[in-house]
Chain A
């Protein structure tokens, strides 16, 4: 289904859309307040951009350095060319350790690889331990946001889910009670776990260590209790030196939620005595994206979610409308690189307002890339008849000023004079749920000419 078709499903519940829109805008607002407190924030973003751009230009060297250091630290490093290989490696490690119960903290990469269904099919228990992820796991849905996975669910839906799956009492959606119950339920899972899976926010070439950021403490509860810790990372998570964490940890949480830093920034380097630590480095299309000069900067992404919170389309269409692991503006420039046909409508799910690029902590030119994907998609994939025809017509109107002038006059007159029922009739998508402005009497051209004429008169 196209983005707009999926969006219209989300749009059926108007109240929910309004809430979603406002809640995310509020998060964007908190981000603004927080970054304005940082002196030279723009310079910090430039550093974030510069370090990531440099990293990509020397990535193979840094990956080898990271691997060598991680090995020295007693960590086993594995490489996966694609999702399937990643899943097989995870399974193999689990089988070698006779692990049946697995606790997982948030990792968009394992979502991308569809690890959970793969392991479940092998009879293993996989529990997502981030509260938002657990909610969507119980609801059998994918996350709809990379930082706020259950932002599309209201408290009553969570209440019902927990009653059904965790046996909680009806509580009119009390977040305090529900979180407390989730804590108890997941505490048990942490205690029983045979292995813990985490993502990686930053992997440091210089030390072979990696950093995982959470607010809930779930990555640590899992990793320190279970005998085996498996951390999964995309190749682009590398940063050259430890001092670079100073830049990225300052950028990440402020951009994500407006917090000055996440509650826990955990630096893993060596396994604890008697325990095992594995790192899986995954390509899955990233080296391909690296080959595209116009789009490679999308690999700078540190998954803060700021571009989603600010996007007027995302806020009103919901994360599921993108039908991809990474939704929103960044998802719309990553997904077409994976499957141009399947994701051909995503780069059009944007007003090109550029707000995403303005908030991105690593200065990815997201809206410019959306525009570039559009050029490629219109050439390479068949476009709907109406769109193609209307573009042709527009093209010919714009080509001749006299024609443009006449059409403009008719349009202004129609907006002023025709009844609303006609203006907002079905073919006019712009008239859905909003009134169009009254057509002005004169065009900009007329207004300008009159002004110039008045000027000379007054001189």
Chain B
């Protein structure tokens, strides 16, 4: 017998009688959040920054003032092609993105209760981009911020081939529990809400 069948048979023989699957009633967790205020608070808790904006142009000019020394830059938001110093079509392997300073991506879903922002294959030409970049900038519309994870998954019928909730810059506290921002992923996270 293959290991597969062996494992499945044993589980079938050893499992208890079928128990019912509980229903999730998301309304009982609803504390009536002020969604935007909570989102901004939680992004700060997880180590990110939130800025308000009105247009993609305003995002670009703000990014250029925050990171004046950035050399290698890439943005996927509409109408900002002039900002890019990188042509992804010439990138043969993800490893060549190692020196990317700034990446700007637009997201269509964010969560107030934990400051997480969703990005997926739909926005990412290459999956490693939001992790390998030194600084990550995300743009999200106010109407796309939902209160809790339950509502986020209602919207996420298709997570595409790869998708990730990002809450703040990468971090670690593995040396004596002291928090250090900037582990393997981005060193900073700036979120623009429009």
Which residues of chain A from 34 to 50 have any CB-CB distance to chain B below 8 Å in the complex?
A: 38-40, 43-44, 46-47, 50
Question: Are B19 and A53 in touch, CB under 8 angstroms?
Answer: yes
Chain B 110-136 per-residue mask, 1 if CB under 8 angstroms from chain A, else 0: 010111100010000011100110000
B61 contacts the other chain (Cβ, under 8 Å)? Answer: no
> Which residues of A, 254-279, contact B by the 8 Å Cβ criterion?
257, 259-272
List residues of chain A with CB within 8 A of the CB of B115: 260-261
Number of interface residues of B (CB under 8 A): 76
Contact of A264 among B15, B166, B180 (CB under 8 A): B166
Q: Let me know if B156 and A242 touch, CB within 8 A.
A: yes
- A260–B31 Cα distance when bound, in Å, is 15
Taking a contact as CB atoms under 8 Å apart, the answer to whether A264 and B148 are in contact is: no
Chain B 12-45 against A: per-residue CB contact (8 Å), 1 yes, 0 no? 1111111111101010111100000000001001
| Interface: A302 (CB within 8 A) | no
Binds A, one of B70-78, B83-91, B183-191: B183-191
Check if A215 sits within 8 Å of B183, measured CB to CB.
yes
Closest to A81 in B: B3
A271 and chain B: residue at smallest CB distance: B161
Q: Cβ of A51 < 8 Å from any Cβ of B? A: yes
Report chain A residues within 8 Å CB of B186. 217
Q: Which stretch from B50-58, B100-108, B137-145, B168-176 is at the chain A interface?
A: B168-176
Assembly CA distance A268 to B132 (angstroms): 17
CB of B167 within 8 A of CB of A260, answer: yes
B159 within 8 A of A: yes
Q: Is the CB of A240 within 8 A of B16?
A: no
Interface contact B19-A221, CB-CB below 8 Å:
no
Residue of B114, B152, B174, B177 with highest tally of chain A CB at under 10 A: B174
Contact of B168 among A44, A242, A263 (CB under 8 A): A263
The reply to whether B172 and A179 form a contact with Cβ atoms under 8 Å apart is yes
Q: Which residues of B contact A190 (CB under 8 A)?
A: 184
Q: Is A26 an interface residue (CB 8 A)?
A: yes
Q: Are A56 and B15 in contact (CB under 8 A)?
A: yes
Flag if B14 contacts A175 (CB, 8 Å): no
With A54-B21, A215-B183, A266-B164 as known contacts, state yes or no: A64 contacts B8, CB within 8 Å: yes
Q: A155-B176, A215-B171 are in contact. Are A131 and B12 (CB under 8 A)?
A: no
Given the interface contacts A23-B177, A215-B183, does A260 sit within 8 Å of B21 by beta carbon? no
Least distance between B103 CB and chain A CB atoms (Å): 13
Q: Which A residues are in CB contact (< 8 Å) with B7?
A: 63, 79, 81, 235, 281, 283, 287
Contact of A183 with B174 in the complex, beta carbons under 8 Å? no
User: Does residue B98 face the partner (Cβ distance < 8 Å to A)?
Assistant: yes
Q: Please tell me which one of the listed residues A53, A153, A175, A221 contacts residue B178 in the complex, with CB atoms under 8 A apart.
A: A175
Give the size range of A's interface with the partner.
35 or more
List the A side residues contacting B15 at CB < 8 Å. 56-60, 290
Kindly state whether residue B63 has any CB partner on chain A within 8 Å. Answer: no
A109 and B143 CA atoms in complex are apart in Å by 41
* A450, chain B: closest CB distance, angstroms: 51
Indicate whether A50 sits within 8 Å of B167 (C-beta atoms), given known contacts A215-B172, A225-B95, A268-B162.
Answer: no
How would residues 150 to 175 of chain A score, 1 for a CB under 8 Å from any chain B CB and 0 otherwise? 11011100100000000000000101
Q: A261-B165, A266-B162 are in contact. Are A183 and B182 (CB under 8 A)?
A: yes
Checking B10, B11, B113, B153 against A245 with a beta-carbon cut-off of 8 angstroms, the contacting residue is B153
- Which of B2, B24, B28, B177 contacts A247 (CB under 8 A)? B24
> For residue B13, which residues in chain A have a CB less than 8 angstroms away from its CB?
291
Residues of A within 8 A of B165 (CB): 249, 261, 264-265
Q: Across the interface, name the chain B residue whose C-beta is closest to A53.
A: B19
B171 touches A151 (CB 8 A): no
Instruction: Say yes or no for A220: interface residue by CB 8 A criterion.
Output: yes
Whether A382 is near chain B, meaning CB under 8 Å from some CB there, is no
Chain A residues with CB under 8 A of B184: 129, 183, 186-187, 190, 216-218, 221
**Chain A residues near B21 (CB, 8 Å)?**
50-51, 54, 240
Q: Which of A64, A183, A186, A270 has the most CB of B within 10 A?
A: A183
Q: Distance in Å from the Cβ of A363 to the closest Cβ of chain B?
A: 12
Chain A CB within 8 A of B65 CB = no
* Inter-subunit contact B8/A150 (CB<8 Å): no
Q: A66-92 vs B: 1/0 string, CB under 8 Å?
A: 000000010000011100010000000
| Min CB gap B134→A, angstroms | 11
Interchain nearest-CB distance for A134 vs B (Å): 9
Whether A216 lies near B175 (C-beta < 8 A) is: no
B16 contacts A131, CB within 8 Å? no
The answer on a CB contact under 8 Å between B167 and A263 is yes
Docked-complex contact A263 and B162, CB < 8 angstroms: no
| A380 interface contact, C-beta 8 A | no
- Of all chain B residues, the one with the shortest Cβ separation from A281 is B7
A375 to B114, CA, bound (A): 43
Q: Which residues of A contact B172 (CB under 8 A)?
A: 131-132, 179, 215-216
Say yes or no: B160 contacts A269, CB within 8 Å.
Answer: yes
The contact sample of 22 A-B pairs, CB cut-off 8 A, is A54-B21, A151-B177, A154-B176, A158-B176, A178-B175, A179-B182, A217-B184, A220-B128, A246-B149, A249-B149, A260-B113, A261-B46, A261-B149, A261-B167, A263-B170, A263-B171, A266-B162, A266-B163, A267-B120, A281-B7, A287-B11, A288-B10
The 10 closest A-B pairs by CB, nearest first: A217-B185, A216-B183, A260-B114, A270-B161, A132-B174, A291-B14, A50-B22, A224-B128, A261-B114, A79-B4
Q: A60-B9, A220-B127 are in contact. List 18 more A-B contacts (CB 8 A).
A: A44-B29, A53-B19, A54-B18, A57-B18, A58-B18, A85-B3, A148-B173, A175-B176, A175-B180, A215-B183, A216-B170, A221-B184, A246-B26, A249-B165, A264-B185, A265-B165, A269-B160, A287-B11
